[in-house]
């Protein structure tokens, strides 16, 4: 059971990475065209969501943020279960 929980942890971390990259792609599409100095905001898009223009970007970015946070919570819970199951197995 500990290995199954560890597997779920790695799957959830992969999902978090994919959703973070999707958020980067959505935020790169919504940058203001006249300001090239804003390109670094793509890397920290969860912290700079107010800088992106358009109502449709808010929907896409919010979905990516919810998916990212959900995957992180699942990974943390599965990691906790895996460590507890590994400890009790001894």
pLDDT in tens, 5-46: 889 999 999 999 999 999 988 888 877 666 667 777 888 888
Per the structure block, which two tokens stand in for 11? Answer: 């799957």
Average pLDDT over residues 75-86: 90
Which of these, 48, 76, 46, lies nearest to 63 by C-alpha position?
46
């Amino acid at each position: 059971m500990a290995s199954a929980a560890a597997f779920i942890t790695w799957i959830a971390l992969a999902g978090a990475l994919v959703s973070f990259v999707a958020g980067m792609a959505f935020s790169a599409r919504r940058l203001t065209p006249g300001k090239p100095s804003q390109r670094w905001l793509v890397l920290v898009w969860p912290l700079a969501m107010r800088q992106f223009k358009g109502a449709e970007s808010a929907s896409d970015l919010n979905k990516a943020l919810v998916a990212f946070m959900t995957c992180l919570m699942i990974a943390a819970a599965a990691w906790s279960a895996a460590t507890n199951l590994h400890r009790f197995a001894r």
